[in-house]
Amino acid sequence: MDQNRLLKGIGASPGVTIGKVVIVDHGHPDFSHYRLSSENEIREEIACLHKALNESKEQLIKAKEEVGKRNVQEAKSIIDTHILILQDKILINSAVEKIKNEQVDAAWALKSTMQELKKNVADLSDEYMQERTSDIDYIEKRILRNLAGKKPEIISKAGEKIIIVANDLSPADTANLNVQEVLGFVTESGGKTSHTAIMARALKIPSVVGLKNVMLAAKNGDTLIIDGIHGVVIINPDAETLRKYQQKKDQHEEFERRLLKYKDLASESTDGFRMNLMANIEIVEEVASVVDYGAEGIGLFRTEFLYINKHELPTEGELFTIFKNAAEKISPRPLTIRTLDIGGDKFISHVDVADEMNPVMGLRAIRFCLKEVPIFKTQLRAILRASAFGKVKIMFPMISCVEEVRQIKKIMEDVKKELQKEKKEFDPDLEIGIMVEVPSSATIADLLAKEVQFFSIGTNDLIQYLLAIDRVNEQVSYLYEPLHPAVLRLLRRIIDSAHDNGIPVAMCGEMAGEPIYIPILLGLGIDELSMNPIAILAAKKVLRSLEFKQCKMVVDKLFEFSTAAEIKDFLLKETKKYYKNLNLTSTENQLKL
């Protein structure tokens, strides 16, 4: 066994954790198929098939109990559908007949039966039934895995503390993880701002992504250390390494405890410049805890996960209940709900979207919503109705021109009229804002500022589009540079345009949560930062050590440099000069507190 095998990837969610590996392989297990040559072999194969079917059923029943405990109604009904398919007599008989008549092994018989079933379903004109092919796939994989003697997937591993190692975890996979059981996760693909990484941070699970070949390097049951701060993974550490990392883990936990003293202090600079520090959330369950992290409200509620995880599109009633719940829980603090940002690296299975060469530049976010107006309207109705229960704001993603905003406003007016007619309450003064995350909207920020009540800068996408770097492509992630002079120039332009037009501007991309950028954002005069809740207290600590006037001067100087490296050098030197006890490189900052 290789000891101390160190792999370097991208730290996607901070923290140190140590646990046992569970490989999650979403592919079909490999089988070498063979012809059966005796009655005995036929009987054995049929017995194997029944055993795998029974195991699959038991796993699903157990999984149903698990999700029942967590009260996830939709998941329960999906599992029920899967159990029904699994028990289908025609299906079982067909596979058994194939083993008998064609003398093929159980895996072959099963695959061929499932293939026929999928074909029959796909031929049906009923759209709902056509979507069932994904359920059949899911069941097929489960039975095949059991036939191959492979371990069942994560959800049924109750009670065990594990580290998931996978090629990739879709946002839906990540949302389905049982946080109590999963200590961390490591994926081969993805970058720091891929939605999977964001989800990991939301769930407070240390993780490293973009670790090529980790599926080959690690085996089930290996001990694995994740250092999510430095993006390091160590497989089968020796005793000394284990001790060192245990110490790091304790240090990190101590760091988090110490930060707690900032929770009730004002978020302002030493000379009284206030900056709202808000939370980004992905799932409604997070609302309850964000105030404990010192959040002054929710600056970004990403709603796409309400769609991705569903078997069907959520209804207005379901969305309303969730938004109302969130608005009430966070009230009187504001809740900024972002409308559906689907596409790019986030897809919903039950909506037909044509394959695109460049999905991140395709029918994404607001473009999708303006095409699928009924889906958009359902969400707007739910948000508007929830606005009667707290301080709700609406924000639209991926705006690239003024026309889109005007189109949205027209739809909003229609929706408001409908609600009024139905005597459904909403906040008539509800503010609307846009995400500034496409270079074109940043460039015409002065024009857009006249159309809306606030801006929120989405640096994850803005940097991706401005620097032409796919945010989930680990090959180019080294080029992802918030200190690029082009980024800083564009940020200044957006912030100044907003202020010239009397509207506030927030930032809700990952850049907002990194201590090193806070002096710049303060110097540029941004009004609000919205970030992963776990980053808020450290941001507050940094903000409370800085002087606005000083940062403004430093920022003016930064515009004289031509490269990100020069800018970083100068920034660190200046902050060290004025603020002796503040170290802005996040790692050192973690340990120096």
- The count of residues interacting with ligand PEP (CB under 6 A) is 11
User: Which 79-108 positions form the footprint of ligand PEP (CB under 6 A)?
Assistant: none
Q: Which does 49 bind (CB under 5 to 8 A by kind): Mg ion, ligand PEP, none?
A: none
* Contact track, Mg ion, 406-445, x by CB under 5 A: -------------------------------x--------
What distance in Å separates the CA atoms of residue 214 and residue 229, rounded to the nearest whole number?
Answer: 18
Query: Is 302 near ligand PEP (CB under 6 A)?
Result: yes
Q: Token pair of 355, please? A: 């394959």
What minimum distance in Å lies between the beta carbon of 458 and ligand PEP? Answer: 3
What minimum distance in Å lies between the beta carbon of 511 and ligand PEP? Answer: 8
User: Which 538-577 positions form the footprint of ligand PEP (CB under 6 A)?
Assistant: none
Q: What 3-state class would DSSP assign to 126?
A: coil
Q: Residue 389 is inside which H or E element, if any? A: none
> Would you put residue 579 in left (φ > 0), alpha (ψ -120 to 50) or beta?
beta
Q: Which does 302 bind (CB under 5 to 8 A by kind): ligand PEP, Mg ion, none?
A: ligand PEP
Cα-based angle 111, 114, 115 (whole degrees, multiple of 5)? 85
Q: Token pair of 267, please? A: 């978020």
User: Which 445-474 positions form the footprint of Mg ion (CB under 5 A)?
Assistant: 458, 461
CA dihedral 328, 331, 336, 342 (to 10 degrees): -20
Contact between 292 and 263 under an 8 Å Cβ cutoff? The reply is yes
> Would you put residue 149 in left (φ > 0), alpha (ψ -120 to 50) or beta?
left
The dihedral sign for the CA sequence 543, 546, 550, 555? negative
Phi, psi of 537 (to 5 degrees): -65, -40
Cα-based angle 100, 32, 148 (whole degrees, multiple of 5)? 80
* Contact track, ligand PEP, 338-367, x by CB under 6 A: ---x--------------------------
What distance in Å separates the CA atoms of residue 166 and residue 151, rounded to the nearest whole number?
Answer: 14
Q: How far apart are the first and last CA of the chain?
A: 39
User: Which 52-81 positions form the footprint of ligand PEP (CB under 6 A)?
Assistant: none
Stretch that binds ligand PEP, among 129-137, 254-262, 424-432, 458-466 (CB under 6 A): 458-466
Q: What 3-state class would DSSP assign to 175?
A: helix
Which 8-state DSSP code applies to residue 359?
G
What minimum distance in Å lies between the beta carbon of 460 and ligand PEP? Answer: 3
Q: How far is CA 369 from CA 125, 378, 507, in A?
A: 26, 10, 23
Give the nearer residue to Mg ion in terms of CB position, either 437 or 528.
437
Q: Which does 459 bind (CB under 5 to 8 A by kind): Mg ion, ligand PEP, none?
A: ligand PEP
Q: Which does 509 bind (CB under 5 to 8 A by kind): Mg ion, ligand PEP, none?
A: ligand PEP
Query: Is 343 near Mg ion (CB under 5 A)?
Result: no
What minimum distance in Å lies between the beta carbon of 127 and Mg ion? Answer: 30
Closest CA to 587 of 484, 515, 480, 483: 515
- State yes or no: is 508 an active-site residue: yes
Contact between 564 and 485 under an 8 Å Cβ cutoff? The reply is yes
Q: Which of 82, 369, 484, 508 is catalytic?
A: 508
Stretch that binds ligand PEP, among 34-42, 203-211, 453-461, 475-483 (CB under 6 A): 453-461
- State yes or no: is 48 an active-site residue: no
What minimum distance in Å lies between the beta carbon of 461 and ligand PEP? Answer: 3
Query: Is 461 near ligand PEP (CB under 6 A)?
Result: yes
Q: Which of 195, 252, 369, 484 is catalytic?
A: 195
Query: Is 513 near Mg ion (CB under 5 A)?
Result: no
* Contact track, ligand PEP, 491-510, x by CB under 6 A: -----------------xx-
What distance in Å separates the CA atoms of residue 97 and residue 56, rounded to the nearest whole number?
Answer: 20
Query: Is 282 near ligand PEP (CB under 6 A)?
Result: no
Contact between 253 and 16 under an 8 Å Cβ cutoff? The reply is no
Query: Is 477 near ligand PEP (CB under 6 A)?
Result: no
Quickly tell me which residue has 């060290």 as its tokens: 576
Query: Is 296 near Mg ion (CB under 5 A)?
Result: no
The residue ranges that bind Mg ion (CB under 5 A) are: 437, 458, 461
For ligand PEP, the binding residues (CB under 6 A) are 193, 300, 302, 341, 437, 458-461, 508-509
Residues annotated as catalytic are 195, 508
